[in-house]
Amino acid sequence: MSSSPSSPSPSSPFALAAEAAAAIADRTGTRHHDVAIVLGSGWRPAADRLGSVQASVSVSDLPGFPASTVPGHGGSVQSILGPGDRHLLVFVGRVHGYEGNSPSAVVHGVRTAAAAGCRTLVVTNAAGGIGHGMQVGQPVLLSDHINLTGQSPLTGVLPEEVPSRFVDLTEAYSPHLRALAREVDSSLVEGVYAALSGPQYETPAEIRMLRGFGADLVGMSTVWETIAARHLGLEVLGLSLVTNLAAGLGASTLSHDEVLTAGRVAAERMGDLLAQVVSRL
């Protein structure tokens, strides 16, 4: 018997996300989540500031989630009762394209969050600072991005029942959510995030190119997740933590240990910021 035209095909990544959302509901006892938060490199301690953990599920127990191979990226999804009794779905770590994952696999968590009921996505990352005057440990609101990965999670065959792949990214990062964040911390500056494939860090010549493009930050994540979220109608708040100055702009040699250390130092403060933003949603 063929499936009905209105239901996703078994091979659809959206069907897989629906299965994962159902598994999360079963394992956490929470049928509906409101806000999804993706924690980037070194951001793990921020989860402890977001509210009361109701349940934690290993991604290995959920359909469709690849395992992370990067230090500083955990492998769990937490259901947290946050400010205002909002149910938060917190992804402790993420996977990346440079680990050998397809864009669809990288955004599986975002699509799962949408299937779990989330209408807001908070995406965080560790980034190299390019903009003039940026300092290590500084949080920066994302106002826009430049996708230099050459890929998108919206390529390939999409089921007919999902929105059009030709999604408008004019306001990829919600002005409304950015305004809420500035209510919490008026010192927050905004910046444009450039995403490259990695995993190697950029050369000084590449950083000069990116600065010429108008980028203030550089990293290896986030943009695919934002594209997938906007495709499904979620509002997105992006927040980078400057964990190092980009190649040629600082005195130190770039290393992932430096990124993790800077993230750990600032993560609790970032968690408090996120909790206060969530309380205003």
Q: What is the mean pLDDT of residues 47-61?
A: 91
User: Which residue is catalytic, options 99, 171, 190, 206?
Assistant: 99
- pLDDT tens, residue by residue, 203-235: 999 999 999 999 999 999 999 999 999 999 999
CATH number at residue 89: 3.40.50.1580
Number of domains in the chain: 1
Is position 226 within any domain? yes
Is position 217 within any domain? yes
Is position 7 within any domain? no
Tell me whether residue 132 is one of the annotated catalytic residues: no
Single pTM value for the model = 0.90
Tell me whether residue 244 is one of the annotated catalytic residues: yes
Is position 8 within any domain? no
3-state DSSP call for residue 268? helix
pLDDT category, 118, cuts 50, 70, 90? very high
DSSP per-residue letters across 190-242: EEEEEE---SSPPPHHHHHHHHHHT-SEEESSSHHHHHHHHHTT-EEEEEEEE
- Alpha-carbon gap, residue 144 to 166, rounded angstroms: 18
Tell me whether residue 209 is one of the annotated catalytic residues: no
**Residue ranges making up the domain that contains 171:** 13-279
pLDDT higher for 253 or 241? 241
Is position 252 within any domain? yes
User: Which residue is catalytic, options 105, 126, 127, 195?
Assistant: 126
- Work out the percent of the chain whose per-residue pLDDT is above 90: 65
Q: Is the pLDDT of residue 83 over 90?
A: no
Angle at 145 between CA 141 and CA 151, to 5 degrees: 140
Tell me what pLDDT residue 112 has: 98
Q: What is the mean pLDDT of residues 118-122?
A: 97
User: Which residue is catalytic, options 25, 256, 258, 279?
Assistant: 256
Is position 248 within any domain? yes
User: Which residue is catalytic, options 33, 87, 96, 231?
Assistant: 96
Is position 62 within any domain? yes
199: cis peptide before it, omega within 30°?
A: yes
